[in-house]
Amino acid sequence: MTTIASFIDALGRYDFLQSALITAIMVGVMSGIIGCFIILRGMSMMGDAISHAVLPGVAVAYMLGLNVLIGASVFGLLAAGLIGFVASHSKLKTDTSIGIVFSAFYALGFILISLAESATNLHHILFGNILAVSDTDIMTTVVVLGLVILFVVFFYKELLVTSFDETFAKTYGLKVQLLHYGLMLVLTLVTVSALQTVGIILVVAMLITPAATAFLWTEKLATMLILAATNGAVASVIGLYFSYTLNWASGPAIVLIAAIIFGISFVISPKQALITNLRRPRRVAA
Amino acid sequence: MLDIQNLTVAYDDTPVLTDVAVQFNAGKITGIIGPNGAGKSTLIKAMLGLIRSQSGTTTYNGRPIKQFQRQLAYVEQRKDLDLTFPITVFEVVLTGTYGQLGLFRRPGKPERAASLAALDQVGLSAFADRQIGNLSGGQLQRVFVARAIVQQAEIIILDEPFVGIDLQSETAIMAILKQWRDAGKTIIVVHHDLNKVSCYFDDLVILNHGIVDAGPVAKVYQPENIAKTFSSDLSKVLFTATKGVAL
């Protein structure tokens, strides 16, 4: 209890901790929201791939002094496009295509970053460094959060229908591919923001885990989005607390908390009904 | 009239449909029958532009089908639907209004009312707020028919709508199809159960990589055609057992 009190006390005193808290909440919200569509579309692998594939973009932006968002978006979209191209122009399955493209991009990113000779930066990119968030970082994160919310509000019905029934959306003339790449673009922006809190390696956890937890509690998409956003924010704040108090790396701390919340939900959510199902045989779906 | 001309579709150089020409009339329910792998679903998907065709044109009342995209409703064969998706029965039906709404416009009161009315028409009002995974196969099929009602389309295409569903659902769906027909719409049904061909359809297309025969049911649904397309045994069974009953 005293540590919680001292955490709150420190929040009042240290700007860097305030910045960290604000960023953590924003990243938790945006990744929870976008994560819902990633898991409902069965694109967890794709989410993982895109989040890794932005690495060379981060490096190039760093070398050229560009905004990280620009570099990351270019490489994120390039990776999404290549994955789609390889899968549709060969008999390889999409997950194979994902594996090839993202590992290549990731490898390229490593080399570029080592050329830029910034070893400390690499460590921060990989594992996150939420306690070193600058004011510019916060502004960028605000912009991305705004974009994510606008994207989901304006395209809610299109995102809903393409996630649920893509063929139907195609028959009434919706530009399904365009929406897919729009989502991929937003995903790369979220990834860049999440780099600060959890690092590139664990971005996928922020996308999938809070959304999956939300899925266990509701049967309505709108509710799921709100739950996932809240859940992502809560996990980020608690993770930050442990990171500050126990001196854990922020990324792993946040991700572990998210996983624990998922674990608890998995056991007690009424929709999941694990406890009742363990007692009686599973009903076979019709 | 929906008119398909010289349609050829091949998957990886294996032709599924070769030079198909066929017409579907407004105010008729047209059945498409044919053995497994005859290209029935392929024909529909090519017509809808969901798959690439090597050649062929589809026109509706003399103009390219592309111009009528909002006038098409397609009730797909439900094989790979995600039944765990967080969506209610009502919300599924409501997606039928999306095409007319276009981008950025949200469904409002009229759209909601139309969706509820369509659910009522298929007898599923009581299920409006259920998550779709809680429905039986027949009820689910009725939900998708309700969505097609909401689309207010002129051309409605159903792929195997009666597979694995209960009698109540089948009757309910058939009643809707007949309403559509009487309203002058074009209804196309891919079908596999040869028994009910003559009581369900006005026109019939027999397909087996190409058109075997097409026209009014009484003319097309003949022992020779069935024997030629399926097997002579099947033809014998069907036409000795049901003669005078089905027709």
Q: Is residue A286 part of a domain?
A: no
Q: What is the CATH number of the domain that holds A148?
A: 1.10.3470.10
CB contact under 8 A, A157 and B88: no
Rounded average pLDDT over A137-161: 94
Cα A31 to chain centroid distance, Å, stands at 4
Q: Are B142 and B173 in contact (CB under 8 A)?
A: yes
Q: Is the pLDDT of residue A209 over 50?
A: yes
Give contacts of A 190-219 with B, CB under 8 A: 215, 218-219
**Closest CA of chain B from A173, distance in Å:** 6
pLDDT exceeds cutoff 60 at B245:
no
Model confidence at A101, in pLDDT bands (50, 70, 90)?
very high
Q: What is the mean pLDDT of residues B156-183?
A: 92
pLDDT over 60 (residue A204) = yes
Interface of B with A in 93-152 (CB under 8 A): 95, 98-99, 101, 103-104, 106-107, 131, 133, 136-137, 147, 151
Mean pLDDT, to the nearest integer, of B38-46?
Answer: 89
Q: How far apart are CA A205 and CA B91, in angstroms?
A: 29
- Nearest chain A alpha carbon to B138: A286
Q: In A, which residues are within 8 Å of B72 by CB distance?
A: 171-172
Q: What's the average model confidence in pLDDT over B82-102? A: 92
Both structure tokens of B119: 């659910």
The answer to whether residue A259 is domain-embedded is yes
**Chains A & B: contacts with CB separation below 8 Å:** 73
Residue in B closest to A271 by C-alpha: B84
In chain B, the residue whose alpha carbon lies closest to the alpha carbon of A151 is B104
pLDDT band at B131; cut points 50, 70, 90: very high
Task: Report which listed range, A267-276, B24-33, B227-236, is most confident.
Answer: B24-33
Calculate what percentage of chain A has a pLDDT beyond 90.
47
Nearest to A21 by CA among A207, A234, A204: A234
pLDDT at B246 over 50: no
Residue B243, number of CB atoms within 10 A of its CB: 10
Q: Are residues B4 and B58 in contact, defined by beta-carbon separation less than 8 angstroms?
A: yes
User: What pLDDT was estimated at residue B115?
Assistant: 95
CATH fold for domain B2-241? Rossmann fold (3.40.50)
Nearest CA in chain A to B83: A164
| Average pLDDT value over all residues in chain B | 88
Share of chain A above pLDDT 70, in %: 93
Q: Is the pLDDT of residue B163 over 60?
A: yes
The verdict on residue A258 lying in a domain is: yes
Pick the range with the lowest mean pLDDT from A70-79, A145-154, A217-226, B89-98: A70-79
Contacts of B88 in chain A (CB under 8 A): 219-220
Helix H or strand E segment including A115: helix A94-115
Number of Cβ within 10 Å of residue B113's Cβ equals 10
pLDDT value of residue A119: 55
* pLDDT at residue B223, rounded to an integer: 84
Region B125-133: mean pLDDT is 93
Task: Please indicate whether, in this complex, the C-beta atoms of B87 and A171 are within 8 angstroms of each other.
Answer: no
If one counts the domains in chain A, the total is 1
**Interval A12-36: pLDDT, tens:** 888 888 999 999 999 999 999 999 9
* Nearest residue in chain A measured CA to CA from B95: A161
How far apart are the C-alpha atoms of A19 and A21, rounded to whole Å? Answer: 5
Q: Give the pLDDT band (50/70/90) at residue A94.
A: confident
Q: For strands B203-207 and B55-60, give the pairing.
A: unpaired
User: Where residue A277 falls among pLDDT bands split at 50, 70, 90?
Assistant: low
Q: What is the mean pLDDT of residues B12-16?
A: 82
Full domain range(s) for residue A69: 2-279
Query: Is the model's pLDDT at A206 over the cut of 80?
Result: yes
Q: How far is A147 from chain B (nearest CA, A)?
A: 16
Q: Give the C-alpha separation, B220 to A108, whole Å.
A: 64
ipTM value of the model? Answer: 0.87
Grade residue B247 by pLDDT with cuts at 50, 70 and 90.
Answer: very low
Identify the residue with better confidence: B49 or A165.
A165
Asked whether residue A66 carries a pLDDT value surpassing 80, the answer given is yes
| Amino acid B98: pLDDT | 93
CB A261 within 8 A of CB A208: no
Q: Does A88 touch chain B (CB under 8 A)?
A: no
Please tell me which of the candidates B81, B85, B99 has its beta carbon nearest to residue A173: B99
Which residues of B fall within a CB distance of 8 Å from A174? Answer: 98-99
Least confident interval from A90-104, B154-168, B181-195, B227-241: B227-241
pLDDT recorded at residue B54: 87
Query: Residue B86 and residue A223: Cβ atoms within 8 Å?
Result: yes
Closest residue, chain A, to B98 (C-alpha): A157
CB distance from B70 to chain A under 8 Å? yes
CB contact under 8 A, A163 and B85: yes
Nearest Cβ partner for B95 among A42, A168, A215:
A168
Beta carbons of B86 and A220 less than 8 Å apart: yes
Q: Do B74 and A40 touch (CB under 8 A)?
A: no
A104-140 pLDDT, tens digit per residue, is 999 999 898 888 766 557 777 888 888 888 888 899 8
Please report the pLDDT score of residue B158 as a whole number: 93
The β-bridge partners of A71 are none
The answer to whether the CB atoms of B86 and A154 lie below 8 A apart is no
Picking from A1-15, A241-255, B134-148, which range would have the lowest pLDDT averaged per residue?
A1-15
Outline where DSSP puts E strands in chain B.
2-11, 14-24, 28-33, 55-60, 63-64, 72-75, 155-159, 186-190, 203-207, 211-216
Residue B118, pLDDT score: 94
Residue A146 CA: distances (Å) to CA of A27, A70, A128, A210, B242: 11, 17, 22, 20, 66
Q: What is the pLDDT of residues A240-273, one digit of tens each?
A: 999 889 988 888 999 999 999 999 999 988 877 6
Using pLDDT thresholds of 50, 70 and 90, give the confidence band for residue B170: very high
Question: By percentage, how much of chain B surpasses pLDDT 70?
Answer: 97
Residue A211 in any domain: the answer is: yes
Q: Which residues contact A99 (CB under 8 A, 6 or more apart)?
A: A49
Gap from A28 CA to chain B (nearest CA, Å): 21
Is the confidence at residue B201, as pLDDT, over 80?
yes
Over residues B92-112, mean pLDDT: 91
DSSP states along B101-149: H-TTPPP-HHHHHHHHHHHHHTT-GGGTTSBGGGS-HHHHHHHHHHHHH
DSSP string, A72-104: HHHHHHHHHHHHHHHHHTSS--HHHHHHHHHHH
Looking at the partner chain, which of B82, B85, B104 has a beta carbon nearest the beta carbon of A154? B104
Rg (alpha carbons) of chain B, rounded to whole number: 18
pLDDT of residue A231: 97
Residues in A touching B137 (Cβ below 8 Å): 286
Q: Where are the domains of chain B?
A: 2-241
Mean pLDDT of A73-78: 90
Interchain proximity A172–B107, CB inside 8 Å = no
pLDDT of B67 > 80? The answer is yes
Residues 107-166 in A contacting B (C-alpha not used; CB under 8 Å): 154-158, 160-161, 163-165
Q: Which residues of B touch A286 (CB under 8 A)?
A: 136-137
